[in-house]
Chains A and B, each alone.
Chain A
Amino acid sequence: MDEPIIELSDIKKSFGPVSVLKGVSLKAYPGKITALVGDNGAGKSTLIKGLAGVQPYDSGVVNFNGTPVHLTNPREASALGIEVVYQDLALCDNLDIVQNMFLGREETSFGTFDEGEMERQASETLQSLSVRTVKSVRQRVSSLSGGQRQTVAIARSVLKSAKVVILDEPTAALGVAQTEQVLNLVKRLADQGVAVIMISHNLVDVFQVADYISVLYLGQMVAEIQTKDTTSDDVVGYITGSKTYTGVSA
């Protein structure tokens, strides 16, 4: 088996007296999709916010390619090639697709924007993901549909050759057709060698794309399994706590 690019162990995080993560472990592999599932309030978003450097953990070890790293702000995570697509879309409606994709890391020459260069890279990235639904990279994001927005958010995450892409419920707000598009996009990310961590509530989606499934239950990782070794019923059991995982850890 491959070496994990991300390996979390014994991660803890509390908000005041409330202990949200109680010693969690997680692995993600290059070119593979790891689904992170769990009930509302299980701590999924909290777990990935720590990886993104947005909300540092209280304690625990984060190994990146086998080396321990400290992630205390988004720039550090970004520098390692860890990118997050948030649940509540982090796009600026008033900016166009190129501007959103490059926000915070614009290409400049002589201190001013090189719009042509940014436009080319944005267009190439969308093409490499076989995005066909976007007509012009200069469209304002406010004029895009939910699926198109999610596409832009995902494209933004891989623009600068990301190694790990974390998606927080990428299909939660989407209809059937758009969900399909986004899941295809997620598969293509993995095909490009990116380690994908996808939070999802929808087990159909999870079984459709994921290579591994990690189940968080009340702040603890109760199962880390290969998708092919489990069933939907079992996973539902782990999520609700009505079943205990007994197999060998993946």
Chain B
Amino acid sequence: MSETKNADTAVDTTALAASGMIGSGQEGGVLDQARAYIQRVRGGDMGVLPAVAGFVVLCILFAVLSPYFMTDRNFANLLTQAASYVMLAMALVFVILLGEIDLSAGVTAGVAMSIFVVLSNPGGIAMNWILALILSLLTGVAIGAFIGFFVARVGIPSFVVTLGLFLGFQGLQLLIIGTGGLYRIQQPEILAIQNNNLPVWGGWLMLAVMLLISGGTAVLDRRRRVRAGVPNRTVVLVWIKLGVILVIGGLFVALLNQNRGQVNYLAGKVVGGNVIEGVPIVVPITLAILWAGTFMLDRTRFGRYLYAIGGNPEAARRAGIKVVGIKWAAFGICSTLAVVSGFFTASQIGSVDASFGRDIVLFGVAAAVVGGVSLFGGRGRLIHGAVGALVIAVITNGLGLLNLGGGVNYLVTGGVLILAATVDAVSRVRGGGSLTR
């Protein structure tokens, strides 16, 4: 790493240098910002870009290959299929940022869902479903604390602890549910997560809330910076961001608000059918958790320390950060969100059996990596996990429409994973980093 290289990756701040003030990369107009962004990308800091590109390419590919892909109904299907992966990938990001892993996240969801169905099933204990839901989420918290204890306190590698739990929890699930057992989900509220939709106005309200939150935080942030006397990025960027949310979000809501139900025709006239329209309920739930988690990671001590520990645990310790506590909390959040992902899956397939959650975890890890989260820790965001999960889900969805089932699906998903990791590694080496971090 040489001085000259830094000179040309930095933003042009010659005007500031004259005043003795050190820049912050916020100066200049839209073009300066765009240039700085391109330089960051070329410097190996590609973020979610490759995953978004991959998603778009796959969508175009499947749209060309299958007439069903670009339909309203498939679009909604894709989102509901992706939801469990998205939630699981976001859960895993919390521990992957630490440079840890949770191989038991899937079966953690399995155990918690087994407990949920056994407790809430009308033919059995018939506990109030809300109470059962809280208890199964608490199961997630407890499992996370259990993992955190062995990883952070005892000092066993998380790979080993969670591999042990991956095996053990499959047994626990069998014991709770019984060999060959299968519980149908009977609570309409749980089934509604994946199978019911917001009313048409609800989708627009959701979009309005998103715009409000995004615009509101931008205004507050800018006010704080003004108060501190440091420059703000040009306000045009705020409008661009809001514009992007408005256009993409608007398209998204408009598409989902189309009636995608069955319409029966007789002699050219509509004679019946069913109406299915609106944004699936799982979407606002996922967006809310994505927003809350991102807020925590970007703007609170907990989040900052998570990144610091992932980047250099010894530096974090010397800075006075309570590393054990932070690790503990991260595993707790991961397991709890994994249970949320379990609810999404259960809602979608309508049942819980003894193998529930066994196969999903590696897809979650793959999604995070495809999205651009570094398994070495310290790099990545929740949105990366979410977009990576969409890529994984679109592969399954598209290949399914082409009648290319299991075998091809696994091969393609694996290939995409390795491709994503390669893009990441190569871009970082080109950016002057090393292959190991």
Contacts and interface: CB of A to CB of B under 8 A. Distances in A.
Interface of A: 54, 73-75, 78, 84, 86, 88-95, 98-99, 103-106, 108-109, 111-117, 119-120, 123, 126-127, 131-140, 142-146, 148
Contacts, number: 137
A88 B313 CA distance: 13
A64 B22 CA distance: 35
B315 A136 contact: no
B11 interface: yes
Contact of B318 (A86, A99, A132): A86
B250 interface: no
B139 to A, nearest CB: 29
B317 to A, nearest CB: 8
Contacts of A120: 228-230
A144 B2 CA distance: 8
B22 A123 contact: yes
Residue among B9, B22, B299, B315 with max Cβ neighbours from chain A (10 Å): B22
Contacts of B319: 74, 90, 103-105
B307 A94 contact: yes
Nearest to A156: B319
B418 to A, nearest CB: 24
A65 to B, nearest CB: 22
Contacts of A99: 304, 308
A58 to B, nearest CB: 21
B131 interface: no
B359 interface: no
A143 B228 contact: no
B226 to A, nearest CB: 8
Interface stretch (B23-31, B146-154, B394-402): B23-31
A116 B224 CA distance: 6
Given A108-B301, A119-B228, A143 B21 contact: no
B242 interface: no
Residue among B24, B225, B304 with max Cβ neighbours from chain A (10 Å): B24
A84 B314 CA distance: 14
A136 B45 CA distance: 17
Contact of A143 (B17, B23, B43): B43
B20 interface: yes
A126 B226 CA distance: 20
A126 to B, nearest CB: 5
26 contacts: A74-B319, A88-B314, A90-B319, A91-B312, A92-B308, A92-B315, A94-B310, A94-B378, A103-B315, A104-B316, A106-B304, A113-B304, A119-B225, A123-B22, A123-B24, A127-B20, A127-B22, A133-B3, A135-B10, A136-B25, A139-B6, A139-B25, A142-B433, A143-B1, A144-B1, A145-B6
Interface string B209-231: 00000000000010011111110
Nearest to A53: B320
A145 B321 contact: no
Given A103-B321, A145-B2, A136 B10 contact: yes
B437 interface: yes
A138 B319 CA distance: 19
A115 B224 contact: yes
Given A133-B3, A135-B11, A138-B24, A112 B312 contact: no
B270 interface: no
B300 interface: yes
A132 B20 CA distance: 8
